[in-house]
Amino acid sequence: MASEITYAEVKFKNASPAAAAAVASQTKKHGHHPQKYPLWIPWLTSLLLLLFCIALVILLVMPFSHGAYQPTVLQQKFMEWECVSEMPQHKGRGWMCCPKSWKRFKKSCYYMSVDMMNWDNSEQNCTGMGSHLVVINTTAEQTFLTEVLQQSPRGTNYYIGLTAPAVGQWQWVDQTPYNESAVFWRSKEPSNVPTEMCVVIHTKKDIKNWNDVPCENHYRICEAAAETV
């Protein structure tokens, strides 16, 4: 019997598929059931494959389905927008958008208030809209705001995001360094007195129109980054 089995194994290696099938049939008749692997191995392999697929979904799919895009506070607060193309057509993202009724200059949007508040409440109001009291960085920006305010039928003073925690220690609300060479104080201003710790733009044509004042009720200018689409 052993010699027959040995012969069958030798023939299996060199025979045609039909002969191999015959040998397998003969082996079965003799009651031999070789089993090389435990029955649980295929189940384990399937389980591991399933776990791998689940991990892949978590790593690759979930980040895109859970807040990959979150609207800004500004987008949540305003439903109507006005957009202007800043790029040639077919050049991708090039539309600069501001909430309707806000003014746009380069990459920023500006809101001129229609009501008055003290400085602290003015900054809180801007923050609640996803913006802050305006921070003026360049002569071009100052010129733009001065020209816009010339059209204002309301007050003469609008808060900007400049204040002093101590006399003469001027600070911007967004922590931009205060630059003495890029300020626009009116003649003989600032007064630098303890009763005048907040700053307004006065609606006069001259771009040097900043004035330090008591932090009482005035209009305000809020600034936010324009949305790009």
The domain segmentation of the chain, as residue ranges, is: 1-33, 35-70, 73-228
- Band of pLDDT at residue 125, cut at 50, 70 and 90: very high
Residue with tokens 């791998």: 52
pTM confidence score: 0.68
Structure confidence at residue 69 (pLDDT)? 57
d(CA 222, CA 102): 9
- Band of pLDDT at residue 13, cut at 50, 70 and 90: very low
- DSSP state for residue 181 in the 8-state scheme: G
* The dihedral sign for the CA sequence 57, 58, 60, 62: positive
HSE of 39 in the Cβ direction (CA atoms, 13 Å)?
0
Least confidently predicted of 49-63, 150-164, 193-207: 49-63
3-state secondary structure of 225: strand
Angle at which helix 2-14 crosses helix 17-29, to 10 degrees, equals 160
What percent of the chain is modeled with pLDDT above 70?
73
Q: Ranked by mean pLDDT, which of 23-27, 66-70, 77-81 comes out on top? A: 77-81
d(CA 152, CA 148): 7
d(CA 36, CA 48): 21
Average pLDDT, the chain: 80
Q: Which fold has domain 73-228?
A: Mannose-Binding Protein A; Chain A (3.10.100)
Backbone φ and ψ of 10, nearest 5°: -65, -45
pLDDT at 129 over 80: yes
